[in-house]
Amino acid sequence: MFLNKRKTIFLTSILSLVFFLIFNYAKSQTLKVVDGDTIYLNGLKIRFIGIDTPELKQTCIKGNVKNNCGIEAKQVLIDKIGNNTVECISEGKDKYERTLAECFIHNESLSRYLVRSGYAFAYRRYSDKFISDEDYARVNNIGMWSMKFDYPWDYRKNN
């Protein structure tokens, strides 16, 4: 009986250790935020679908002060993600071979968050999903809507 009890305890310990390692492996990820709408997740370049954020070098004017709104959009995303696990739902690839996806933390869309925070725009050329969120930010003068700015697609075309 003693030997069977020891085997049971040993087996239970091994199984618990294996479960713990598998669970932690599944949750671990490498994440790098490139800009406000692009991340690397476990080595895969992901572009947030349906939104567009200012370019990193793009500036906006609030009052008479120049604001680095591209860098600020990236920082808003970094702050929102924090140490949380990001989960993405792929919707294909774009012409640059980036994975197009909507990404979430705790079931909250990062794209929706960025648009409602005023640091991303509904990319109406490709989607109408975030238009109501953009309207909310615009009406309430949130984020870039409280500044003078160029839309990211206009900025890219002119720079």
Task: Give 2-67 as a DSSP string.
Answer: HHHHHHHHHHHHHHHHHHHHHHHHHH---EEEEETTEEEETTEEEEETTEE---TT--EEETTEEE
Q: The domain 30-158: what is its CATH number? A: 2.40.50.90
pLDDT computed for residue 19 by the predictor:
47
Q: What is the largest CA-CA distance in the chain?
A: 82
In terms of Cα–Cα distance, which of 87, 76, 95 is closest to 37? Answer: 76
* 28 pLDDT tier (thresholds 50, 70, 90): confident
How far apart (Å, rounded) are the C-alpha atoms in residues 37 and 52? 7
What ranges do the domains of the chain cover?
Answer: 30-158
Lowest-pLDDT range of 22-31, 62-71, 88-97: 22-31
**Tell me: the pLDDT tens digits for 69-95?**
999 999 999 999 999 999 999 999 988
In the chain, % of residues over pLDDT 90:
77
How far apart (Å, rounded) are the C-alpha atoms in residues 99 and 18? 32
| In contact, 50 and 130? CB cutoff 8 Å | yes
pLDDT computed for residue 24 by the predictor:
42
Tell me the average pLDDT across 117-123.
97
Q: Evaluate if residue 16 carries a pLDDT over 70.
A: no
